[in-house]
Amino acid sequence: MSNAPINKAPIDKVSTTESPINEASNSSGNGFTDKQVQQVLLTLLLGGTVVSFSNSALNPAIPVFMSVFDVDIVMGGWVLNAYVLAMSVGLMLSGYLNKKFPFKHVYLAAIFGFMLGSVIGMLASSMSFVIIARAIQGLSGGLIIPLSIGMLYQIYPQQQHGRVMAIWGIVIMMSLAFGPLVGAYLVEQFAWWTLFAITLPLSVAVMAMVWRLIPDMRSHDQETPFDIIGFVSLIIWLLAMMIWLSTLKIDFTHGISRRDDLLKIVALGALSILFLLSAVAWWAYERRQRHPLLNVRLFNNKTYLHSNIISISQTVGLMLCLLLLPVLIQDVMGESALWTGVVLMVATLVASITTHYAGKMVDKQGARGIGIVGIAISALSTLMLAWCLYQPTLWLLILTMSVRGVGVGLAYLPTTTVGFSSLPKDSVTEGAALNNISRRIISTIVITLTTLYIHSRSAQLLAAGSDVGIASAIQEILVIIALMLLFTLPSACKLPRAP
């Protein structure tokens, strides 16, 4: 497979209809009727809503799981980590399955898998089963998201990508916004298992719509071989890395001598170098393959590369806020889970509104200016969030998270859209998978290290007589997030002014 160039495919003539929902589908060259385009879009939006809603609804319940099953924040963090890690596996498989089997069949299997995870979660009797349920849902979500994005880029012409992705972003963000509030209400009024049960009727509706409304599209590249070596080696690497990270809890939370300290540092350094070298070797192997598991050669496209750098940093910041805010509001401030839902809902609503306007702007102005402003706002608002933890109040958290929502709405989706648009249409599914798996793997590593740091740092502060140990640890993490975001400003400067 040749290096992925910036998209030079001819763009078919399109109508001047403003809304991409009404855009004639045969303008994309796939022969869809207007009605089919609308049906496909609505079906994919509902499927993405199920995945996003389930994920966000569970976030306020992390302290509840910790309490019900008597586990600490490190184990609680695996509610997120299991989902993210399994989603990485789904993302690895999405490109191959999309080429090997009809879109409709793969999508139906993914939705059914998500339903299976919901059933297991409902019946869970321990934290281990909750984590298994989330892993199954993550695997299914890892198929659903890139398949959906790839289909949208197939049925809409490039001039409409910003607007159709704005619609996608708004719907997904709305589900992310109301998910925490609904999840908090269910936990407060009923029980934690209802968080899984509520997605079942939605999943059934999506399966029915896919069965009836999605055309039976088949790939023209059904003979693509599966990169079994790349797949197995990456799975082993991920599992080994996560097991290693999990053992750090034991190393860092017990009193040890100075000699043990030195040995521990040497061992950790050696293992870190080993994991880094193995990752480099895997990357080099994938670049040489004609049919790689993940087409890492797409990073030769500089626009796609820099959009991914921004996307990864924004995702890490968002995931950490989703993990830390429930702990801060419920454990530190002593407020109910409903307030966690309110704070996250308001912030995500602001982000969705911002995304709507940013999606229209990026089609005309490109992503450079929008990305720079968005990164700056998200970084400064994260610093504001760290500052307000000295005397945290709910109204100040809502205000700060709302400002942060503006930054995320400007920085995340517009830059990602431009990155996808720079790829050939038949590479967008691979590009979406590579983008998502990069974000998920790095987020998993950072979340694990963050929970370990908060666990050990808060214990250290409490042992020193501080009564705000966990709040201080969260504050330190927020400052690091803000600095990380600021370091992505040069990537925003590399994005095109116009698509």
Structure confidence by residue, pLDDT tens digits, 65-79: 888 888 776 677 777
3-state secondary structure of 31: coil
364 versus 481: the higher-pLDDT residue is: 481
CB 465 within 8 A of CB 472: no
Q: What are the tens digits of pLDDT across the range 271-302? A: 778 878 888 888 888 888 888 878 888 888 99
**Burial letters for 116-125: b for 16+ Cβ neighbours within 10 Å, e otherwise?**
bbbebbbebe
Element containing residue 480 per DSSP (H, E): helix 469-486
Tell me what pLDDT residue 219 has. 57
CA dihedral 41, 95, 133, 478 (to 10 degrees): -80
pTM for the full predicted model: 0.68
CA 179/CA 56 separation, integer angstroms: 5
Instruction: Tell which residue, 448, 471, 165, has the closest CA to residue 316.
Output: 448
| Domain assignments of the chain as residue spans, ordered by start | 24-227+289-493, 228-288
Phi and psi angles of residue 295, each rounded to the nearest 5 degrees, phi first = -80, 80
Mean pLDDT over the full length of the chain: 77
The crossing angle, in degrees rounded to 10, of helices 337-365 and 302-326 is 160
CA–CA separation, 423 vs 102, rounded Å? 22
> What whole-number distance in Å separates Cα of residue 470 and Cα of residue 126?
26
Percent of residues, the chain, with pLDDT higher than 70: 81
Distance between CA atoms of residues 169 and 172, nearest Å: 5
423/387 Cα distance (integer angstroms): 41
For 137-171, give one letter per residue: b (16+ CB within 10 A) or e.
bbbbbbbbbbbbbbbbbbbbbbbbbbbbbbbbbbb
CATH class of 24-227+289-493: mainly alpha
DSSP state of 226: P
For the chain, how far is it from start to end, CA to CA, in angstroms? 25
pLDDT band of residue 60 (cuts 50, 70, 90) is: low
Q: Assign residue 101 a region: left if phi > 0, alpha if psi is -120 to 50, beta otherwise?
A: beta
Task: Please give the backbone phi and psi of residue 300, each rounded to the nearest 5 degrees, phi first.
Answer: -65, -25
Query: Has residue 23 got a pLDDT over 50?
Result: no
Cα angle, residue 64 at apex, residues 62 and 70 outer, rounded to 5°: 100
pLDDT for 377 beyond 90: yes
Q: How confident is the model at residue 498 (pLDDT cuts 50, 70, 90)?
A: low
More confident call, 73 vs 39: 39
